[in-house]
Every structure is written in structure tokens, then in C-alpha cells.
Amino acid sequence: MKSEKTIDVAETKGNIKKKNRLVRAAQIVSQVFHPLYLPLVAFVALFIFTYLSRLPIQLQLYLIALIWVFTVLLPRFVIAAYRMLRKWDTRMLGERKNRFVPYIIVLMSYVALRIVFNIFGTPWYMNSVLSAAINLLLLTILMNIFIKASTHIIGWSGFAGGLTAFSLLNGINLTLWVCLVIIICGIVGTARNILRQHTLTEIGFSAFFGFCYGMVTVLYL
């Protein structure tokens, strides 16, 4: 009897360890594929697949650094400071009612970058991508009034939709890249579900909306 209890306790501890590892892996996936990185990824794609690849490498690196500051560094710093002031943990930030201020912070950073782009007279493609990101963020903010949409999934599925449309418009075979982004989207969706940040319905809706937005935006840009 005692040995059976010992076995049960050992199995329980083993299951807890496995669950903790799974949760930790999901947290890492959520951070590595954070939606804040998507504008940077999109601009890197522009420098690879469009005429912008002809720009001097020094200029490309400068623009990438500028984009990183406004779309990653600045929003993360301000959101972290806001969380410290509010004494919020990650779980509290995941609640729908608490997501609006971080969204506004990111939106202001994007708008500031758009102003910088206008000052420097950056190419049309870059302005269009940033405008599309701003519009998508505005729509996401509006959606979160009614449903807890996943910015992770909307962002990555939107990127997949945009790549698909770009491939169709320019006759470029980007099948492998599109498949890779879709796989990433699936992995991220699974991670968000494991962390109980979103239900399968919310993930599915976010994926559908993001992909359609990406397709329509690029096709009619």
C-alpha cells in the first residue's frame, strides 16, 4: 500500500514537471515570436524580395535599426515601465480589459515612426507596410472591445496572407516561406492556448481575420 502511494506521488511529480516544461516552452515561443517583432520581420522581407534590396547595405542596416527602436525597443520599455507602475504581472496584462493601454503605447510608437518616415521621405513600399500595421492595430483594438483577439495570431497570419498576395501579384514562388510562416502561426497558436491566454475559437477567428487582412491589404494596396 505504501509503495503504491509512493508510485502515485512520483507520477504526480513527474506530470507536474512535464507540465511546467510545456508551459515554459510555450512562454519561450510566445516571446520569440512576439508580435512586436513582426513589423521588423516585414521590413526585412521587403529588403530581400523587393527592389529595396538594391539599396546600399549600410542604409538598409540603418533603416532596420531605426525600425527596431520604434517598433520593439521603445514599446517594450514603455510597457514594462507601465507594468511596474501598475504592479501587474504577465497574467494581469493578458486580461482583455488591461490590454488597451499597451495597444495604445504600441500604436503611438508606430505613428511616431510613420512621422519619421515622412520626414526622411522613405520609399512607398515602406510607408505602405507601416500604414497597414497601424490600421491592423487599430482594428485589433476595436475587436478587443467584443472579443479577446490574439495579436500574436493576427500578426503572423496577416504576414502569411501578405506573403501569399505578394507572391500572386509578382509571380514569385514564395511557397516555402508562406508554409514556414503558417507553421510558425500554428506553433504560436498552440503556445497561446497552452498558456490559457486564448481559446481555440479566439485563435481561429484571429487567424482567419489576420490572413484575410494581409491578403486584401497587399492585393489592393
pLDDT in tens, 193-216: 998 888 899 999 999 999 999 999
pLDDT in tens, 61-92: 999 999 999 999 999 999 888 888 877 766 66
In contact, 52 and 125? CB cutoff 8 Å: yes
The reply to whether the predicted model has a pTM over 0.85 is no
Distance separating alpha carbons of residues 3 and 10, to the nearest angstrom: 10
